[in-house]
Chain A
Amino acid sequence: MKAPDEELVALVVATKNAAAFGELVRRHQGLVRAMLQRMCRNHALADDLSQDAFIKAYEKIGSFTGKGSFKSWLCSIAYTEFLMAARKRRSTERAMEKFKSGLEDSEAPRDMGNVVDLDRALATLKEEERIAVVMCYSCGLSHSEAAEATGMPLGTVKSHVNRGKAKLQAFFQDSEVMAS
């Protein structure tokens, strides 16, 4: 039987046990990497940021109070890493332009089953909308968890998710009409 996250966290806090932390990484790496890949749309950069996020989580693990889930705590650290990386470039907008250049534009959109299409659909959203949608749909966080992780007000997260979802729905409907 798998030990719950909270037990592994307690072990890491008490003994700095790298093996226990490795198990936490194994469990959550897919979530964190997928979230960062969808946010910055550059897989190599997303993997670097994911590694940095896990290292930061290890260093700050004592600050995890257990109030929320470990997953949402981890997502908030990964989100901070994403913001810091974006700030390192002169402005977030310029950073996003750079991230956008990593996308291939040659292939026409087909449906949601294609990861490229999902990324292309997400590229039509505003940054805040994309972040809110990724937090809720990719990471599976509730609106309030996403609000806590991003520091946005709950109502703002809800409206970003709704607007983002409507834009995605329109994008996929258009692309399906084009394909048929």
Chain B
Amino acid sequence: MTMDDAFDERLKAAFADAQAPLERESESERFAHSVVERLSRPDRKRVLILGGAGSTGSAIAGSQLETIFGNMHVPADGILANAAFLMSPEVMAAGAMAIAIGLVAAVLPRRIAG
């Protein structure tokens, strides 16, 4: 064995000694448990960012709908007149917001799981 080999062995042993306390069963169990727990816990920051972005987007989209549908002419008689209340800008804006929020709610869990 050369001096270089002997030093190699000493160095490896020194690194192994430094690692030894981390290899204790209780220590490895504790660390593994904390990692697995983090895996099962969704990242709150990510949920808040995605949820916040989705809600803001749908709120902006909803507020614009009144100007788009505001000039619509609703028939005063006939079958469509019975459903005219559904075509008011407020109802349409609310509907669009509900759809947007629903989509965010559907996409969010998949994004988090992914």
B18: which of A18, A34, A168 is its contact (CB, 8 Å)? A34
Interface residues on B, range: 20 to 34
**Contact yes or no, B17 A25, CB < 8 A:** no
By the criterion CB–CB under 8 Å, are B11 and A25 in contact? no
B-side contacts of A54, CB under 8 Å: 35
Interface residues of A in 109-125 (CB under 8 A from B): 112-113, 115, 118
> Top 7 closest A-B pairs, CB basis?
A34-B19, A112-B14, A30-B22, A25-B32, A30-B23, A138-B15, A26-B32
Closest to B43 in A: A55
- Are B19 and A137 in contact, with the CB atoms below 8 A? no
Q: Would you call the interface of chain B mostly helix, strand, loop, or mixed?
A: helix
A33, B22: Cβ atoms under 8 Å? yes
Interface, chain A (partner B; CB < 8 A): 18-19, 21-23, 25-26, 29-31, 33-34, 37-38, 47, 50-51, 54-55, 58, 112-113, 115, 118, 134, 137-138, 165, 168-169, 172
Residues of chain A lying within 8 A (CB to CB) of residue B33: 22
In the complex, residue of chain A having the shortest beta-carbon distance to the beta carbon of B10: A112
Q: Which of B15, B27, B35 contacts A118 (CB 8 A)?
A: B15
In the bound complex, do residue A165 and residue B18 qualify as a contact, i.e. CB atoms below 8 Å apart? no
Residues on B with beta carbons closer than 8 Å to the beta carbon of A115:
17-18
Chain A residues with CB below 8 A from B31, complex form = 25-26, 29, 33, 47, 50-51
Other contacts beyond A26-B29, A38-B15, A165-B8: 16, CB < 8 A = A22-B33, A25-B35, A25-B36, A26-B28, A26-B31, A33-B22, A34-B18, A34-B22, A50-B31, A112-B10, A112-B11, A115-B18, A118-B15, A137-B12, A138-B18, A165-B11
Is the Cβ of B17 less than 8 Å from the Cβ of A29? no
Give chain B's interface residues, CB within 8 Å of chain A.
7-8, 10-15, 17-19, 22-23, 27-29, 31-36, 38-40
With a CB–CB cut-off of 8 A, which chain B residues contact A134?
15
In the complex where A26-B28, A29-B22, A113-B14 touch, is A55 in contact with B35 (Cβ < 8 A)?
Answer: yes
B15 touches A137 (CB 8 A): yes
B72 to chain A, nearest CB (A): 48
Evaluate contact between A30 and B19: CB separation under 8 angstroms: yes
Between-chain CB contacts (< 8 Å), 23 pairs = A18-B36, A18-B39, A18-B40, A19-B36, A21-B35, A22-B35, A23-B32, A25-B31, A26-B29, A29-B31, A29-B35, A34-B19, A34-B22, A37-B18, A51-B34, A54-B35, A112-B13, A118-B15, A118-B18, A134-B15, A138-B18, A168-B11, A169-B7
